[in-house]
């Protein structure tokens, strides 16, 4: 196991092609701090030890303690840090809304819409154990049938117990109009050079109003939100074997050094290391002798 940053922070990421190259993460952090960022995917995991102090958007912070599931819906700005000197050890995976939707397509009623999870901390021992089992099955590269079966059962049970289905795709009811318009524009134009005047024009308000409304509504100013989106999309390209230099330009950064600076700040590792851990070749050879003690970070 390589280390991410200081000697006290360790992590391992990999990509599982059984789930459309979904990212998996196993980490043990003592003092690492995640600045505000956003995912276009769900973030679902468990806290195995310690605890994480978590803050979604402008809301009050809360603690994700050991023995609980932690869940974050797509598009929710959040930040995290250790809740004590012990830090926290956790497992996560990041399924796309499309993947979740396909697994739940027989469970929804009514028109097409979006699934979401209520709350960020879930105390459910059965689901906690199921998640541990599915995560380890991916880490140890168990059979395709086992991995697919475990994730399908877990996702269905998780959303049946703690999820909700909204038949409306519009964000108009959960965010001010300006925030919704600007957010959609940033997602659509993330690879392009975006200016405040672009955002003001599309939202029909002044540049000052854009910054004020978006920051208040999401917990991040537009430029920080855009950087976070680009890092998320960089991960997807790096997992397919695209070089860091090419990835930087594809997602909208000016060069590789700019990508590296923001990528490491938001994830704790460099693009090169992330690519080495999650590339197709690395994924095929993931079971490299650490499987006998999968709970340890090396």
Tens of pLDDT along 186-242?
Answer: 999 999 999 988 999 999 998 888 888 998 888 889 999 999 999 999 999 999 999
Tell me whether residue 285 is in a domain.
no
For residues 88 and 33, the answer to whether their CB atoms sit within 8 Å is no
Q: Which backbone phi and psi does 206 adopt, to 5 degrees?
A: -80, 165
Is residue 65 included in any domain, yes or no? yes
Bridge partners of 16, per DSSP, are: 22
pTM for the model stands at 0.77
Q: Is 286 domain-assigned?
A: no
Residue 284 lies in a domain: no
Write out the two tokens for 99: 């993947």
What span, in angstroms and rounded, lies between the C-alpha atoms of 35 and 265?
Answer: 8
Q: Is 97 helix (H, G, I), strand (E, B) or coil?
A: helix
In this structure, of 2-6, 45-49, 110-114, 239-243, the range with the lowest mean pLDDT score is: 2-6
Domain that holds residue 17: 10-169
pLDDT band per the 50, 70, 90 thresholds, residue 111: very low
Helix (H, G, I), strand (E, B) or coil at 161: helix
CATH of residue 118: 2.60.120.10
Residues 161 and 191 in one domain: no
Residue 265 lies in a domain: yes
Alpha helix (H) residue ranges in 110-255: 125-139, 144-162, 177-188, 196-203, 207-218, 222-239, 244-251
Q: Are residues 27 and 151 in the same domain?
A: yes
User: How many CB atoms within 10 Å of residue 192?
Assistant: 11
Token pair of 154 as six digits: 């877990």
* 288 lies in some domain: no
Helix (H, G, I), strand (E, B) or coil at 171: coil
Q: What's the DSSP call for residue 17? A: G
In whole angstroms, how far apart are CA 223 and each of 1, 36, 114, 258? 34, 12, 26, 14
Same structural domain for residues 111 and 198?
no
Quote the CA–CA distance of 57 and 73 in Å, as a whole number. 12
Domain boundary, last residue among 121, 140, 169: 169
Identify which of 291, 199, 274, 200 has the alpha carbon closest to the alpha carbon of residue 232.
Answer: 274
The predicted-structure confidence for 24-77, as pLDDT tens digits, reads as follows: 999 999 999 999 999 999 999 999 999 999 999 888 999 999 999 999 999 999
The domain total for the chain is 2
Do 163 and 199 belong together in one domain?
no
131 lies in the same domain as 197? no
Partner residues linked to 184 by β-bridges: none
User: What is the percent of the chain where pLDDT is above 90?
Assistant: 63
Clarify whether residues 165 and 207 are in a common domain: no
Domain match, 97 and 225 both: no
Number of neighbouring beta carbons within 10 Å of residue 200: 18
Residues 149 and 51 occupy one common structural domain: yes
45 and 140 fall within a common domain: yes
Instruction: Give the confidence band of 101 by pLDDT, cuts at 50, 70, 90.
Output: confident
Confidence bin at 170 (pLDDT 50/70/90): very low
């Amino acid at each position: 196991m390589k280390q991410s940053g200081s000697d006290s922070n360790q992590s391992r990421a990999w990509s599982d092609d059984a789930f459309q190259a979904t990212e998996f993460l196993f980490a043990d952090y003592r003092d690492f701090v995640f600045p505000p960022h956003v995912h276009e995917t769900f973030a679902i995991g468990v806290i195995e030890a310690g605890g994480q102090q978590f803050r979604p958007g402008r809301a009050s912070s809360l603690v994700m303690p050991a023995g609980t599931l932690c869940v974050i819906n797509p598009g929710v700005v959040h930040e995290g840090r250790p809740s004590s000197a012990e830090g926290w050890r956790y497992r996560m995976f990041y399924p796309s809304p499309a993947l979740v939707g396909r697994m739940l397509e027989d469970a929804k009623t009514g028109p097409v819409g979006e699934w979401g999870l209520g709350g960020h901390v879930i105390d459910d021992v059965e689901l906690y154990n199921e998640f541990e089992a599915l995560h380890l099955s991916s880490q140890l590269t168990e059979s395709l049938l086992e991995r697919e079966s475990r994730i399908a059962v877990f996702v269905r049970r998780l959303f049946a117990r703690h999820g909700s289905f909204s038949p409306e795709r519009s964000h108009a009811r959960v965010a001010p109009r300006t925030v919704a318009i600007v957010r959609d524009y940033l997602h659509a134009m993330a690879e392009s050079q975006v200016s405040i005047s672009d955002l003001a024009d599309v939202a029909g308000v002044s540049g000052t109003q854009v910054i004020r409304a978006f920051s208040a509504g999401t917990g991040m100013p537009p430029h920080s939100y855009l950087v976070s989106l680009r890092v998320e999309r960089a991960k997807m390209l790096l997992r397919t074997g695209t070089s860091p230099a090419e990835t930087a330009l594809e997602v909208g950064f000016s060069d590789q050094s700019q990508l590296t600076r923001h990528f490491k700040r938001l994830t704790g590792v460099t693009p090169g290391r992330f690519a080495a851990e999650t590339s197709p070749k690395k994924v095929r050879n993931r079971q490299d002798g650490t499987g006998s003690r999968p709970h340890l970070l090396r």
